[in-house]
C-alpha cells in the first residue's frame, strides 16, 4: 500500500509546479482572473435584468435569486479547485498520456486530478466573498444549524459536481470524443441552477432533481435556508438536508463506474 503521506507529498509537489507554471505565464493568469470576474459578472447581470422586469419569481425576490446563484457558485468553484482536471481524461486517453499514469505507482485517478494545469482557487475565493454579500442581503441568520447546512451543502455540491464530471469523463473509455456531452451537462448545470427549480416544468425538475442532481447544490438547501415553504412543499421538505447523502451516493457510483471504465481500458487498450 502506498501511504497517504506519499499522495500528500505528490499533491504538494504538483501545486508547487502549478505556481511555477503560473509565474512562467503571468499574462495568461491575469487574463483568466479577468475572465472569472467577467463571467460571473455577466451571469449576475443577467439575473438582475430579468428580475428588474419580473421583481419576483414564484415568490423569490431578486436577492433570493442572487443568493441561489452565489450558493451554487461556491460549491462549483470548490469543485473546480479540486477536481478540474477530471475533464482531462478524454484528452489524456486520446493522446496516450493516460498510459504514462498507469506505469506510475500511484492511483491513476489521483494522477489525473493532481497534475500541473489544475485550476487556481482564485474563483473559489471570489465566490466566498460574493456568497457573504448575498447572505447579508437576504439577512441570513447565522445560527450553528444554518452554518452547518451551508458548509455541508458547499462540500456536497463540490462532490456532486465532481462526480457528474467523472461519469462524463469515464465515458471516454468507450467513446473517444465526447466534448459535446460535456458541454450539454455543463450548460444544464450552469444555466438551469440560476433560477428556482419550482419555475421550471416537470422535465427540467426531474433532470436537475434526480438525473443530474444539480438542484442539491443550491435550490433544495436554499428552500430551507430562505424558508421557502411553498417551494419546499412542492417537493419533499427533507430534500434541503439531503445533499450529503446524494453526494455520497454519486461519489460511490461514479468511482465504481470509473473502475469499470478503467478495467475496460486495460482490457481493450482503446
Cβ proximity to other proteins, 144 vs 269, nearer residue: 269
Cβ proximity to other proteins, 236 vs 266, nearer residue: 266
Q: How far is the CB of 64 from other proteins (least distance, A)?
A: 44
Backbone angles phi, psi at 61, to 5 degrees: -80, 170
CB 193 within 8 A of CB 214: yes
Q: How far is the CB of 34 from other proteins (least distance, A)?
A: 21
Cα first-last separation, the chain = 28
Q: How far is the CB of 167 from other proteins (least distance, A)?
A: 20
Query: Smallest Cα–Cα separation from 162: which of 241, 242, 90, 248?
Result: 248
* Residue 27 contacts other proteins per CB under 8 A: no
Rounded Cα–Cα distance for residues 14 and 262 (Å): 23
* Residue 234 contacts other proteins per CB under 8 A: no
* Residue 269 contacts other proteins per CB under 8 A: yes
Residues with Cβ within 8 Å of 19's Cβ and at least 6 positions away in sequence, in order, are: none
- Binding string, 65-104, against other proteins, x = CB under 8 A? ------------------------------xxx-xx-xxx
Backbone angles phi, psi at 56, to 5 degrees: -140, 135
**Site residues for other proteins, window 119-178 (CB under 8 A)?**
none
Could you tell me the sign of the dihedral formed by the alpha carbons of 26, 32, 37, 38, in that order?
Answer: positive
Rounded Cα–Cα distance for residues 89 and 232 (Å): 38
Cβ proximity to other proteins, 19 vs 147, nearer residue: 19
* Residue 106 contacts other proteins per CB under 8 A: yes
Please pick, from the candidates 4, 13, 58, 224, the single residue that binds other proteins as defined by CB under 8 A.
Answer: 13
Query: Smallest Cα–Cα separation from 254: which of 167, 160, 156, 161?
Result: 167
* Residue 179 contacts other proteins per CB under 8 A: no
In this structure, what C-alpha cell is assigned to residue 208? 436537475
- For other proteins, which stretch binds (CB under 8 A), given 42-50, 65-73, 121-129, 261-269? 261-269
Cβ proximity to other proteins, 144 vs 267, nearer residue: 267
* Residue 55 contacts other proteins per CB under 8 A: no
In whole angstroms, how far apart are CA 141 and each of 145, 230, 265, 270?
Answer: 10, 20, 50, 54
Cβ proximity to other proteins, 12 vs 227, nearer residue: 12
Please pick, from the candidates 32, 84, 116, 185, the single residue that binds other proteins as defined by CB under 8 A.
Answer: 116
Q: Where does the chain have alpha helices with state H? A: 4-24, 26-53, 62-83, 89-95, 97-102, 108-113, 122-137, 144-170, 179-192, 202-206, 219-225, 229-234, 243-268
In this structure, what C-alpha cell is assigned to residue 2? 502506498
Cβ proximity to other proteins, 182 vs 264, nearer residue: 264
* Residue 9 contacts other proteins per CB under 8 A: yes
Q: Which stretches of the chain bind other proteins, using CB under 8 A?
A: 2, 6, 9-10, 12-14, 16-17, 20-21, 24-25, 95-97, 99-100, 102-107, 111, 116, 263, 266-270
Amino acid at each position: 500500500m502506498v501511504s497517504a503521506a506519499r499522495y500528500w507529498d505528490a499533491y504538494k509537489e504538483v501545486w508547487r509546479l502549478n505556481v511555477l507554471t503560473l509565474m512562467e505565464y503571468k499574462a495568461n493568469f491575469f487574463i483568466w482572473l479577468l475572465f472569472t470576474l467577467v463571467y460571473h459578472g455577466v451571469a449576475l447581470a443577467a439575473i438582475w435584468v430579468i428580475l428588474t422586469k419580473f421583481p419576483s419569481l414564484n415568490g423569490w425576490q431578486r436577492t433570493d435569486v442572487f443568493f441561489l446563484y452565489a450558493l451554487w457558485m461556491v460549491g462549483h468553484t470548490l469543485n473546480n479547485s479540486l477536481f478540474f482536471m477530471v475533464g482531462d481524461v478524454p484528452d489524456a486517453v486520446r493522446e496516450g498520456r493516460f498510459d504514462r499514469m498507469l506505469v506510475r505507482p500511484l492511483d491513476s485517478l489521483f494522477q489525473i486530478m493532481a497534475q500541473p494545469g489544475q485550476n487556481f482557487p482564485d474563483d473559489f475565493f471570489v465566490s466566498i466573498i460574493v456568497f457573504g454579500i448575498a447572505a447579508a442581503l437576504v439577512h441570513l441568520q447565522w445560527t450553528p444549524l444554518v452554518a452547518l447546512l451551508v458548509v455541508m451543502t458547499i462540500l456536497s455540491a463540490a462532490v456532486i459536481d465532481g462526480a457528474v464530471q467523472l461519469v462524463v469523463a469515464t465515458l471516454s473509455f468507450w467513446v473517444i470524443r465526447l466534448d459535446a456531452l460535456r458541454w450539454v451537462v455543463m450548460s444544464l448545470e450552469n444555466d438551469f441552477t440560476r433560477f428556482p427549480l419550482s419555475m421550471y416544468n416537470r422535465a427540467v425538475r426531474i433532470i436537475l432533481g434526480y438525473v443530474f442532481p444539480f438542484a442539491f447544490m443550491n435550490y433544495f438547501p436554499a428552500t430551507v435556508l430562505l424558508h421557502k415553504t411553498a417551494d419546499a412543499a412542492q417537493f419533499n421538505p427533507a430534500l434541503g438536508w439531503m445533499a450529503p447523502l446524494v453526494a455520497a451516493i454519486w461519489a460511490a457510483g461514479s468511482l465504481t463506474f470509473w473502475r469499470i471504465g478503467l478495467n475496460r481500458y486495460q482490457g481493450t487498450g482503446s
